Amino acid sequence: MALRIAHRKVDGVTIVELNGRLVLGTESASLREEMKRMASQGDTKILVNLAGVNYIDSSGLGTLVSGYTTLVSRAGKMKLLHLTERVHDLMQITKLLTVFEVFEDEAAALRSFQ
């Protein structure tokens, strides 16, 4: 299944909704380009909702890290929302949970940007 990317703005925060597989190829490349585009347009507060991501590989993780790095270099922030159990376990194993702020509640995540 191809990765579908949608986004919406709430209180100055861009919420990026991902659905599908975040893997090597067009999926990770399209997300990487979308993140660069948002950052270049001044969207520096990004919340990535991973509830619809059913599989992520090392390239997908790299894409998330790349987006995070791009935003931090522009004085921005990127946080994650609704990790599936599988994605949470993978991020724990790779120690990426120490890099990203992760939330299970959208309202709490939005408040954390203020």
**How many independent structural domains does the chain possess?**
1
- The reply to whether 96 falls in a domain is yes
- The reply to whether 44 falls in a domain is yes
pLDDT, one tens digit per residue, over 11-42 is 999 999 999 999 999 999 999 999 999 999 99
- The reply to whether 112 falls in a domain is no
- The reply to whether 111 falls in a domain is no
User: For 58, which DSSP code?
Assistant: H
| Spatial contact of 6 and 38, defined as CB atoms under 8 Å apart | no
Domain of 33, CATH number, reads 3.30.750.24
Edge-to-edge strands of the sheet including 4-10? Answer: 4-10, 13-22, 45-56, 77-81, 102-103
- The reply to whether 89 falls in a domain is yes
pLDDT, one tens digit per residue, over 42-75 is 999 999 999 999 999 999 999 999 999 999 999 9
Domain that holds residue 28: 4-105
- The reply to whether 113 falls in a domain is no
- The reply to whether 110 falls in a domain is no
Can you give the pTM of this predicted structure?
0.95
